[in-house]
Structure 1
Amino acid sequence: MLIQGNSIELLKSNEEISELKGKVNLIITSPPFPLNNKKQYGNEKGEEYQKWFTELAPVFSDLLTNDGSLVIEIGNAWEPERPVQSLLHLECLFGLVKHPDANLRLIQEFICYNPSKLPSPAQWVTVNRLRTVDSYTHVWWLAKTDFPKADNSRVLRPYSKSMKQLLKKQKYNAGKRPSEHQISETGFLTDHGGSIAHNFFEMEVIDEQREVRLPHSVLSFSNTNSNDYFLKKCREKKVIPHPARMSGGLINFFTQFLTDEGDLVLDPFSGSNTTGYCAEKLNRKWVSFEIKEEYVKQAIIRFSEPDINSPLTKLKS
C-alpha cells in the first residue's frame, strides 16, 4: 500500500493508519540527509534536523513488533561553510537511542561504500581540494530488544575460492594462531552454503583484481544499473528519477535478514518506493509513505514492470 502524505503526521493522527502500531516487523528507510543545502525532496538543516529526526524515535518504536527492527541509512554531515565534518548524524543516533519514550538500542552499524557518489562536499573536494570524497553512508540497525528477529543464514556470501578448495579437501592447518585463537580441526569443514555476511557493503568493486563476495540479495539489485526497468522507463518518459534512491540491494538484504515471508515492511520516506518494490518481490506485506506527488507517480512507473510478481533473480556463485 502506497500512501501520499506526511508519514509522521499521518501516523500520529490518522486513526486507520495508527492501527499499524505494534504490527510492523521492519521499518527500513533512507530519510532526507542532514545536508547544508535544500534539496527538492525536502530536508531540514542543523538543529532543526536533529529535533525532527529525534522525534521520529517514539513513532517508530510504537510501530514495531516486540522483535521488529528499524534500519536507517544516513550520510555524513558537514559544518556550513567549513571543511569540518559535523557530529550531527551521531547526535541524531544518540537522540534515537536515548529518547525516553522509544526504548531503542543500536544493534549493529553497517557501512555502505559507493564509489559512484559525486565528489562531496564539492567546495572542499573539487574546488579547494582540501578533503577526500565522502563516499559512504551509515546504515544503523536498531531494535526494541537485544534479540530482534534475525537469521544471517538467509544472507550468506558466496564462499571464496580458497574456502571452496578447503571444503573439497576437507583438510586445513588447525591449531593456535598468533592472535591466540584456537582453530579446531573440524570447525571449518561443514558446508553451510556460504560465509556469514560482513557489515560492509561494497556496492561497486574497489579492486578489480579482487573477487567481491556480497550476499546474493545485494548483488541482485543495483540502482546504478543502466538496464534497470524503472530507469529505462523514466528515460522514455523524460522523467528525472528521485535523486536519492536507497539501494535495492540494501533493502533486499535487510528484508531477507530480518523478516519472514508475509511480514510487514514499512518505509515512511519512500521516494519512488524501492522498498515497496523489493518487499513485493520478496512476498512481504508493505506500506510506504511519500509526501511528493511527483515521486508517487514514479512509484507507479516502478510498479508497471511486467514481471513485478516474479521472485528476485538469484545470482549463482
Structure 2
Amino acid sequence: MTEDSAVTELMESDPYYSAEGGSAFQGNSRELLKELPDNSIDLIVTSPPFALQHKKEYGNEDQEGYNDWFMEFIPEVRRVLQPHGSFVVEIGGAFKKGFPERSTYQFELMTRLVDEDEGGMHLAQDFYWYNPAKLPSPIEWVNVRKIRVTDAMTHIWWLTPEINKDSAVKEGEQPHPEANNQRVLQEYSDSQKDLIESGEFNDGERGSGHNIDEEAFAKENEGSIPDNLIEASNTASNTHYLKMCREFDFDPHPARFPRQIPEFFVDFLTPNPPYDDWDNGYLDKPVVLDIFGGSNLTGSIAQQKGRYWMAFEQEEKYLETSQFRFMTKEEISKKLDDSQSDFGDFASVSED
C-alpha cells in the first residue's frame, strides 16, 4: 500500500490530487467530513474565512450568520477526532460595519464551542499570531480618521474533544490531548546563553512570590519553552508556491497564513517519526487535516514532517494551484501541456 492510498481509503470520494503521504479533496467540508471514519484524525489545523464586512473572492459569511455557519462543522469535527486529537483554528476579529467598534463574534463563537450542551469542545489554550508587517487597517479608522491603531493580532484557538482530568494528575500518564512542548523548544536568547555559561544570576524570592533556585536558570535544556504568542510576518514572496503561480500565470490564494503557524502545531500536537511503536492513531502514523485547505500549506508542512495529511477545499481554482507545493517546475509544465485543468496524481515534493 502506498502512503497516499492509506489516506485516500478513508474517504468515499476520489481525491482531486494525491502526493506522497496525503490527498486533497474537492467539496463542502461539512459533507466531506461525514465520509471519514470515527476517531480517524489526530490533528485539524485550519484557517476558515473570517466574518469580515467585505466579501472576499474566496467566500466568507457575514457576521450575523457566521457563528451558526461555523457551528455546523463541529459535530463532525468532534466525531472524526481521536480522543487525544486537537482542533486548531485561526480566527480573525473584525470591526462592526460603519463603526470604530470591535465585533465580539469570535468570543461569542468560543462560548458556543465550549458549551457542554452545544459545541462540547474544551479550550486547551489560546494562542495569538502577531504579524509585525500587517498593513494599517481598517483604513477608515486607522489611516483616514486616525482614531484606532493597526489590528495586527489574530486569535488561534487550540480546542480538544475531551480533557482527561483524572489522568492529568497521575504521574506517568499522558492526559488528553497529545502534546509535548519539548518538540517546539526555541533557541535560547543571547542573555540566556550567557547566563548558562556563567551560572550567575539573581536567585531568591521575587515580588510575585516565586522563589528562584540558584541553579534554576543555569541548566542546559536544549532550548526555551515557547509562549503562546507566534510572531510571524506574512510577507513571503519567493516561496516555491508563489514562484510557480507567477511562472505559470495563476493567481495564488489571497489569504495564506505563514508556515510558522501550521509548523508549530504539527510539531507540538503530533509525535515525531519514527512510528514503529506508535499505536494511538487510526493509521500507522498521525493524520493531519485542514478542512479549509486553501493553498494547502498545512498539508505541505505535514508531509515535510513525516505525517499523513488531508485537505478539503471547495474552490477548484485553489486546488489547482495548491498542487504546485508538491510539484517541480518540470512536472507542472508537463501536466499543463497534457491538460489545462486535470493534473492527476504525482509524488514529487518541493519546498514551500
Tell me the TM-score normalised to structure 1 length.
0.86
Aligned match for 1:248, one of 248, 259, 271: 259
In the alignment, the residues of structure 2 paired with residue 120 and residue 298 of structure 1 have an alpha-carbon distance, to the nearest angstrom, of 28
For 1:92, give the aligned amino acid.
L
Q: Against the structure 1 CA distance between its residues 188 and 34, is the aligned structure 2 distance closer, same or farther, given a 3 Å change threshold?
A: same
2:245 aligned partner: 234
Q: Superposed, which structure 2 residues align to 1:1-317 within 5 Å?
A: 1-12=23-34, 17-19=35-37, 21-98=38-115, 100=117, 102-146=119-163, 147-204=176-233, 224-260=235-271, 261=273, 262-305=285-328, 309=349
In the alignment, the residues of structure 1 paired with residue 130 and residue 154 of structure 2 have an alpha-carbon distance, to the nearest angstrom, of 7
1:209 aligned partner: none
Deviation at 1:194, TM superposition (A): 0.5
Contact 1:62/1:102, CA 8 A, preserved across alignment:
no
Matched residue SS, 2:125? strand
| More displaced 10-residue stretch of structure 1: 290-299 or 93-102 | 93-102
Query: Structure 2: which 5+ residue stretches go unaligned?
Result: 1-22, 164-175, 274-284, 330-346
Contact 2:240/2:350, CA 8 A, preserved across alignment:
no
RMSD across aligned positions (CA): 1.9
Q: Against the structure 1 CA distance between its residues 127 and 311, is the aligned structure 2 distance closer, same or farther, given a 3 Å change threshold?
A: closer
Deviation at 1:119, TM superposition (A): 2.4
Deviation at 1:189, TM superposition (A): 2.5
Query: Structure 1: which 5+ residue stretches go unaligned?
Result: 205-222, 313-317
Number of aligned positions between the proteins: 289
Moved over 3 A (4+): 305-312
Percent identity, please: 43
Contact 1:282/1:311, CA 8 A, preserved across alignment:
no
Contact 2:48/2:89, CA 8 A, preserved across alignment:
yes
In the alignment, the residues of structure 2 paired with residue 160 and residue 10 of structure 1 have an alpha-carbon distance, to the nearest angstrom, of 45
Cα-to-partner distance string for 1:146-184 (whole Å, 9 max, x where unaligned): 331100011011111121112112333321122221011
Matched residue SS, 1:73? strand
In the alignment, the residues of structure 2 paired with residue 311 and residue 150 of structure 1 have an alpha-carbon distance, to the nearest angstrom, of 26
Matched residue SS, 1:296? helix
| More displaced 10-residue stretch of structure 1: 123-132 or 296-305 | 123-132
Deviation at 1:254, TM superposition (A): 0.3
Matched residue SS, 2:82? strand
For 2:261, give the aligned amino acid.
L
Q: Against the structure 1 CA distance between its residues 304 and 310, is the aligned structure 2 distance closer, same or farther, given a 3 Å change threshold?
A: closer
Contact 1:54/1:99, CA 8 A, preserved across alignment:
no
In the alignment, the residues of structure 2 paired with residue 90 and residue 305 of structure 1 have an alpha-carbon distance, to the nearest angstrom, of 42
Contact 1:119/1:126, CA 8 A, preserved across alignment:
yes
Contact 1:67/1:149, CA 8 A, preserved across alignment:
yes
Deviation at 1:305, TM superposition (A): 4.0
Q: Against the structure 1 CA distance between its residues 43 and 172, is the aligned structure 2 distance closer, same or farther, given a 3 Å change threshold?
A: same
Cα-to-partner distance string for 1:182-224 (whole Å, 9 max, x where unaligned): 01122222211100001111214xxxxxxxxxxxxxxxxxx52
For 1:264, give the aligned amino acid.
V
Matched residue SS, 2:36? helix
Bigger CA radius of gyration:
2
Matched residue SS, 1:164? helix
Deviation at 1:99, TM superposition (A): 5.5
In the alignment, the residues of structure 1 paired with residue 206 and residue 231 of structure 2 have an alpha-carbon distance, to the nearest angstrom, of 28
Q: Against the structure 1 CA distance between its residues 175 and 141, is the aligned structure 2 distance closer, same or farther, given a 3 Å change threshold?
A: same
In the alignment, the residues of structure 2 paired with residue 240 and residue 81 of structure 1 have an alpha-carbon distance, to the nearest angstrom, of 31
In the alignment, the residues of structure 2 paired with residue 107 and residue 311 of structure 1 have an alpha-carbon distance, to the nearest angstrom, of 31
2:11 aligned partner: none
Contact 1:30/1:74, CA 8 A, preserved across alignment:
yes
For 2:265, give the aligned amino acid.
F
Deviation at 1:238, TM superposition (A): 2.2
In the alignment, the residues of structure 2 paired with residue 98 and residue 231 of structure 1 have an alpha-carbon distance, to the nearest angstrom, of 41
Tell me the TM-score normalised to structure 2 length.
0.78
Deviation at 1:55, TM superposition (A): 2.2
